[in-house]
């Protein structure tokens, strides 16, 4: 299965992609994570992308498309994957269609996660993670059980993303509405789009995504179809 999670910053794409990888044999492909790794490693791509990301703008299409094209050819992506944060522009969506055709594959589903802008700002500015194992936390909704100690690995250092300040989140939301939202119409026209309420609890969002991926027998059947 090849799946796109589409939604604004903080909609819960990473959270849900992570849960889906545990339920299904799918790999999570997050362009945000790949770009942050390139920035941390100081590669040529990372040097180009870092300042753009800190401003909350989108990294140029050709750089991101090249990154994804390379990643699709790694062995572990053969079983199916969840694209988290890609595509983000019509040009990226068209490139994805081409990349999949070249590999004899097709996109199965696009899940649009719908969330209010104000809730997103609160979600993102409260987010932090363990510097050692990456376990995610949220101030005030999900704090470590022992203050200052990671529940998963016992680490005591925590990090926040540089682009998680309110000012940059507002810029990321602006980029989403201007450049990424048009993908809703693009995928609706392909009949691949399903929407879920991203404002619900994490477990309910997960359930709604699973229902959109495996609709109950008989769902979406035309009224006069046989059987």
What angle, rounded to 10 degrees, do the helices at 90-102 and 182-189 form? 40
**Is residue 155 near ligand AP5 by the rule CB under 6 A?**
no
133/9 Cα distance (integer angstroms): 22
User: Smallest gap, in angstroms, from Cβ of residue 161 to ligand AP5?
Assistant: 7
Query: Pseudo-torsion of CA 181, 99, 38, 178, nearest 10°?
Result: -10
DSSP H helices, 73-194, are 90-102, 117-125, 166-175, 182-189
Sole binder of ligand AP5 in the list 4, 38, 58, 150 (CB under 6 A): 58
Sole binder of ligand AP5 in the list 2, 3, 4, 10 (CB under 6 A): 10
**Is residue 71 near ligand AP5 by the rule CB under 6 A?**
no
In the chain, how many H helices and how many E strands?
Answer: 9, 8
Please confirm, yes or no, whether 127 is among the known catalytic residues.
yes
Sole binder of ligand AP5 in the list 3, 45, 88, 125 (CB under 6 A): 88
Instruction: Provide the binding-site residues for ligand AP5, judged by CB under 6 A.
Output: 7, 9-15, 31-32, 35, 52-53, 56-59, 64, 85-86, 88, 92, 123-124, 127, 136, 138, 163, 172, 198, 201-202, 205
């Amino acid at each position: 299965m090849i799946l796109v999670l589409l939604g604004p910053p903080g909609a819960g794409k990473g959270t849900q992609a992570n849960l889906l990888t545990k339920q299904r044999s799918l790999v999570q492909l997050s362009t945000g994570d790949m770009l942050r790794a390139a920035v941390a490693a100081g590669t040529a791509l990372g040097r180009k992308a870092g300042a753009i990301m800190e401003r909350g703008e989108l990294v140029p299409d050709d750089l991101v498309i090249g990154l994804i094209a390379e990643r699709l050819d790694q062995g572990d992506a053969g079983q199916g994957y969840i694209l988290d944060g890609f595509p983000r522009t019509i040009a990226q969506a068209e490139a994805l269609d081409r990349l999949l055709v070249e590999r004899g594959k097709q996109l199965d589903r696009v899940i649009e996660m719908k969330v209010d802008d104000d809730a997103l700002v609160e979600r993102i500015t409260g987010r932090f993670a363990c510097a050692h194992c990456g376990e995610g936390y949220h101030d005030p909704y999900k704090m470590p059980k022992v203050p200052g100690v990671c529940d998963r690995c016992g680490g005591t250092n925590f990090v926040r993303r540089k682009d998680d300040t309110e000012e940059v989140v507002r810029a990321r939301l602006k980029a989403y509405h201007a450049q990424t939202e048009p993908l809703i119409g693009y995928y609706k026209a392909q009949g691949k789009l399903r929407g879920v309420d991203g404002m619900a609890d994490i477990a309910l969002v997960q359930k709604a995504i699973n229902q959109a991926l495996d609709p109950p027998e008989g769902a979406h059947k035309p009224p006069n179809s046989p059987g």
